């Protein structure tokens, strides 16, 4: 028996902070984006002047005005899982601290990462043709699924493979939270497994074996003593980090372990490739078996591009580096200079008290609307 669900209607002309709350109220944890994607698609199809393509739970909406410059505005629809701690504020549905919708602080999953940015995209699309006006640039809006999970599932990656020609442009803005300033480029990220081996034995006769967990101590010592670098790339200082993030070894409480694996995450500046980052980790952990299990290249800031420079000037704040990995790297691989710019404090992303100020969302919309009109 097929259960029919009532389509969710989004009023994308309402106040952008209220629109943010409406988006947050639709549960869209990674893998569960369909209802939100349906609502976004329906709202965009009602806007004359946009050409739409949907691929799974990802949507591309483009103007075709023949402008000499095309800007891409991109954002992901999914969130990390809901918190399990009782009394958490990072919930679905959202809540207003003031008790007055649209006023003050908005709490809930996706408040910063990144329903405020998606709301700004939708508000821009809804109003860009109002009163016979037209944007000074052609605009491509991109909404995609599965950003918060492993890269192989990425909706943006799928769009690149299936509709890469529709993602061509002169400049891209990813509306990830940046606290209202421009964050250029992003660090790369890679993961490794470093293995120490030993010989199993009964723990009552430990001298008959060799303890692999003990043998892994130098791995941890080298990582603990490691001093991460700060690397200047095109005028921005990127802080690196290299850390053990998980350790696994042993089979039973009375067995000397014969194998211990330390999982490592390296966040590296965009001056190096994933292969160069791997070489750096291998040099540090020489003598141990090291296997790279995942890697994603970073992206240089690209702030010297004319469109990027004009956008930074329009925002007015001093640009900063993006320490985490974002999908600006995918646009960089396509040859499209890209930056991060969106409402909300990135330090609050994924936290159980995730929140955003309503006025920060409105200010982000104002800045982008003004720049697009030029």
pLDDT tens profile 334-361: 999 899 999 999 999 999 999 999 999 9
Q: How confident is the model at residue 87 (pLDDT cuts 50, 70, 90)?
A: confident
Report percent pLDDT > 90 for the chain.
82
For position 305, what pLDDT does the model report? 83
- pLDDT at position 88 is 86
Q: What is the mean pLDDT of residues 167-179?
A: 95
The helix, strand and coil proportions of the chain, stated in percent and rounded to the nearest 5, come to: 35, 25, 40
Give the count of alpha carbons within 13 A of 126, CB side only.
19
Name the band, by pLDDT with cuts 50, 70 and 90, for residue 8. confident
Predicted local distance difference test score (pLDDT) of residue 317: 87
* The token pair that represents 159 in the structure block: 């769009």
The β-bridge relationship of strands 183-184 and 320-321 is: parallel
Question: Per the residue annotation, which of 33, 57, 78, 148 is the catalytic one?
Answer: 78
Report the pLDDT value the prediction gives residue 2, as an integer from 0 to 100: 52
- Asked if the model's pLDDT at residue 4 lies above 80, the reply is no
Higher per-residue pLDDT: 306 or 293: 293
Mean pLDDT is highest, among 70-74, 135-139, 319-323, for 70-74
Tokens 């003598």 locate to 287
Average pLDDT, the chain: 94
Q: What is the pLDDT at residue 304? A: 83
Do 187 and 269 meet the contact criterion of CB atoms below 8 Å apart?
A: yes
Instruction: Determine the pLDDT at residue 323.
Output: 87
Residue 366 phi/psi, 5-degree rounding, is -60, -45
321 token code pair: 């580096």
pTM score of the predicted model: 0.86
pLDDT digits (tens, 9 = 90+) for 60-84: 999 999 999 999 999 999 999 998 8
Rounded CA-CA distance 177/183 in Å is 9
Catalytic residue from among 33, 113, 145, 147: 147
Establish whether 11 is a catalytic residue: no
CB 127 within 8 A of CB 16: no
| Cβ neighbours for 344, distance < 8 A, ≥ 6 positions apart | 111, 112, 113, 114, 116, 117, 177, 179, 356, 360, 361
- Distance (Å, whole) CA 50 – CA 48: 6
Tell me the pLDDT band of 292, cut-offs 50, 70 and 90: very high
**pLDDT at 5 (0 to 100):** 63
Residue ranges in 269-357 assigned as alpha helix (H):
274-284, 306-315, 328-333
User: Sorting pLDDT into bands at 50, 70 and 90, what band is 132?
Assistant: confident
The secondary structure of residue 29, as a DSSP letter, is B
pLDDT in tens, 208-229: 999 999 999 999 999 999 999 9
Rounded CA separation 352/271 (Å): 34
170 is catalytic: no
- C-alpha to C-alpha distances, 296 to 14, 54, 239, 248, 299, nearest whole angstrom: 38, 26, 17, 24, 10
Position 152 pLDDT exceeds 90: no
Q: What percent of the chain has pLDDT over 70?
A: 99
pLDDT of residue 56: 97
Tens-digit pLDDT profile for residues 233-283: 989 999 999 999 999 999 999 999 999 999 999 999 999 999 999 999 999
Q: Work out the widest C-alpha separation in the chain, in whole angstroms.
A: 85
């Amino acid at each position: 028996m097929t259960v029919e669900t009532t389509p969710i209607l989004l009023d994308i002309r309402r106040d952008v902070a209220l629109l943010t709350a409406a988006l947050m109220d639709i549960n869209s944890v990674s893998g569960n984006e369909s209802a939100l994607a349906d609502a976004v698609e329906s709202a965009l199809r009602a806007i004359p002047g946009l050409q739409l393509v949907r691929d799974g739970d990802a949507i591309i909406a483009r103007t075709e005005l023949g402008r000499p410059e095309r800007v891409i505005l991109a954002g992901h629809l999914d969130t990390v899982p809901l918190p399990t701690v009782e009394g958490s504020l990072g919930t679905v549905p959202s809540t207003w601290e003031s008790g007055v919708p649209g006023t003050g602080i908005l709490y809930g999953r996706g408040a910063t990462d990144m329903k405020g940015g998606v709301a700004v995209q939708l508000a821009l699309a809804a109003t860009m043709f109002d009163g016979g006006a037209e944007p000074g640039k052609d605009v491509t809006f991109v909404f995609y699924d599965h950003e918060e999970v492993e890269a192989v599932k990425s909706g943006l990656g799928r769009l690149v493979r299936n509709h890469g020609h529709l993602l061509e442009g002169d400049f891209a803005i990813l509306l990830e939270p940046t606290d209202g300033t421009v964050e250029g480029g992003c660090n790369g990220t890679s993961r490794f497994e470093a293995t120490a081996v030993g010989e199993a034995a009964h723990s009552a006769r430990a001298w008959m074996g060799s303890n692999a967990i003990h043998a892994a101590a130098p791995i941890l010592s080298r990582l603990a003593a490691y001093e991460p670098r700060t690397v200047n790339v095109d005028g921005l200082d990127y802080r690196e980090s290299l850390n053990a993030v998980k350790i696994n070894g042993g089979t039973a409480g009375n067995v000397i372990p014969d194998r211990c694996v330390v999982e490592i995450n390296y966040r590296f500046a965009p001056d190096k490739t994933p292969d160069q980052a791997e070489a750096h980790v291998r040099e540090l952990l020489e003598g141990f078996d090291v296997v790279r299990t995942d890697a994603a290249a970073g992206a240089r800031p690209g702030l010297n591009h004319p469109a990027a420079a004009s956008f930074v000037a329009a925002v007015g704040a001093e640009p900063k580096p993006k320490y985490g990995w974002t999908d600006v790297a995918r646009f960089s691989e396509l040859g499209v200079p890209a930056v991060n710019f969106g409402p909300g404090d990135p330090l609050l992303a994924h936290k159980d008290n995730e929140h955003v100020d309503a006025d920060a969302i409105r200010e982000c919309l104002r800045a982008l609307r003004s720049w697009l009109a030029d």
